Amino acid sequence: MPGSTDHPAVDAPDAAPPSAVGVATVVVDPRDGVVVRVAGTADATTGRPLTASTPMHLCSAAKTVAAVVVLRLAARGLLALDADVRELVPVEVAVPGAAGPTLRDLLAHRGGVEDPPGAFEPAAGPAPATADVVAGRTAAHPGPVRVTAVPGTAFAYSDAGYCLVELAVEAATGDAFAEVVHREVARPLGLNATAVWAGEVPPPGAARGDAVARIAASAAAGHRPDGTRVPGGRVHYAGLAASSLWSTPEETGVLLADLVRCWSGSGEGVLLGGDAAAPMLDDAGEPGVGRGVFVLGSDERPCIMTQGWGDGFQCQLRGYPAAGGGIAVLVDQDPGEPQARSVVGRTIGGIAGRRGWVAR
């Protein structure tokens, strides 16, 4: 479980967000456990303070959780990583003679699925159902999702590809994807305010209902680069598996700590024991691109990264399995620049460098 919220000064953000709205820094260290530091506000309009238990939108970090779900199901024989996804999800392959993509392909953005211009724009209200998005019945994706390149041959970052992953999980389990995430990730780690959520109201009796209620009631508001609040406080994106992860800084630390244990191959991880995590880190098909993560650094000192960036929020999580450590920075503001240049990436780089987790 998380440790103190009093973080050493050396691990404070290297720079505040452009308008100092709210920033959370999470450090997983084998000596100290999980340590969380928060500063600023959860809502610039009301002045509500950001806390370690304030839910925030982690956006595309949802893809890492989706990969964990797939690998857990595959380990139990409920999914096959290398089977044609069309065995579970009807999708047109618009390439003569090509096979359909596999889950292994789709998780590494090599499924031959490309997001068309204007797809997956945020909406103020609940996002449409993923099945409707894939079928082309919504404004989130113009026309049906199609395979337009030979699967397994090239990288193309794709939210639509993860929509196919989501539907495959539902077809294999017979359960809603959000409920599977709760059962396979949140519940094993004891996470009570972490869920994939696109603004919908869970049906009565949904296992994740309490978590979504907490998120809806207490989540941070998103903010634009100039510090003004996103109208309505938050937006939602289509595709639960692609970009709809919400979590608190405290629970993000619990998740990251377990992922680091899984990635280390120690067998001590809760979510992916034994060799189950190995496919996440295999980037042989596209150097630097794992499944649900990006694999950076060297073979001796790898850095496993996932991140999210949406209207009002930005984050990055990095695991350093050789050191047994990890760092996450979450901000309730779109800094207006990619993580590599924003307070998010600069803070993580500074902390990792000072702790000797990366080569200087």
Does one domain contain both 214 and 344? Answer: yes
Q: Are residues 103 and 213 in the same domain?
A: no
CA distance 85 to 67: 15
| Alpha carbons 5 and 103: distance in angstroms, whole number | 39
What contacts 332, CB < 8 A, 6 or more positions away? 21, 22, 23, 40, 42, 50, 56, 220, 221, 222, 223, 312, 313
CA angle 263, 264, 269 (to 5 degrees): 70
Task: Say whether 87 sits in a helix, a strand or coil.
Answer: helix
**316 with 348, same domain?**
yes
State which of 173, 202, 231 marks the end of a domain: 173
List, as one string, the DSSP characters of 89-144.
S--EE-STTPPPPBHHHHHTT-SS--PPTTTT--BSSPPPPHHHHHHT-STTSSS-
In a domain, 277, yes or no: yes
Q: How far is CA 345 from CA 182, 331, 333, in A?
A: 29, 11, 14
Domain match, 214 and 282 both: yes
Whether residue 129 is found in the same domain as residue 252: no
Single-letter residue type at 262: C
Give the separation between CA 160 and CA 162, rounded to whole angstroms: 5
On whether both 245 and 345 belong to a single domain, the answer is yes
DSSP letter (8 states) at residue 85:
G
Domain count, the chain: 2
User: Do 281 and 309 belong together in one domain?
Assistant: yes
Q: Domain residues for 236? A: 9-64+192-354
The predicted pLDDT at position 284 comes to 78
User: Using CA atoms, how far apart are residues 53 and 44, in angstroms rounded to an integer?
Assistant: 17
**Residue whose entry in the numeric block shows the structure tokens 């694999």:** 295
How high is the pLDDT of residue 359? 56
> 182 in a domain, yes or no?
no
Task: Say if 359 falls within a structural domain.
Answer: no
Q: Are 267 and 273 in contact (CB under 8 A)?
A: yes
- 187 is a domain residue: no
Nearest C-alpha neighbor of 19 from the set 312, 308, 233:
312
- Same domain? For 54 and 69 the reply is no
Residue 186 domain-assigned? no
Q: CATH no. for residue 55?
A: 3.40.710.10
Sort 5 into a burial class: Cβ within 10 Å, 0-12 / 13-18 / 19+: middle
Phi, psi dihedrals of residue 252, rounded to the nearest 5°: -60, -40
Task: Check residue 312 and report its DSSP letter.
Answer: T
Give the sign of the dihedral formed by CA 346, CA 347, CA 353, CA 358: negative
pLDDT at 11 (0 to 100) = 59
Output b/e per residue, 295-304; b: 16+ Cβ within 10 A: bebeeeebbb
Are 46 and 76 contained in the same domain? no
* Statement to judge: residues 210 and 343 lie in one domain: yes
- Give the pLDDT confidence score for residue 239 in this predicted structure: 97
Q: Are the C-beta atoms of residues 264 and 199 closer than 8 Å to each other?
A: no
Q: Are residues 25 and 37 in the same domain?
A: yes
The first and second tokens of residue 246, run together, are: 């919400």
Q: What is the pLDDT along the chain (360 residues), one digit of tens a residue?
A: 333 333 333 455 555 555 559 999 999 998 889 999 999 999 999 999 999 999 999 999 999 999 999 999 999 999 999 999 999 999 999 999 999 999 999 999 999 999 999 999 998 889 999 999 999 999 999 999 999 999 999 999 999 999 999 999 999 999 999 999 999 999 999 999 999 999 999 999 999 999 999 999 999 999 999 999 999 999 999 999 999 999 999 999 999 999 999 999 888 899 998 889 999 999 878 889 999 999 998 888 899 999 999 999 999 999 999 999 999 999 999 999 999 999 999 999 999 999 999 854
Quick one: 208 and 334 in the same domain? Answer: yes
What is the rounded end-to-end Cα distance, in angstroms, of the chain?
Answer: 31
**Structural domain contains residue 46:** yes
pLDDT at 1: 35
Tokens representing 221?
């508001």
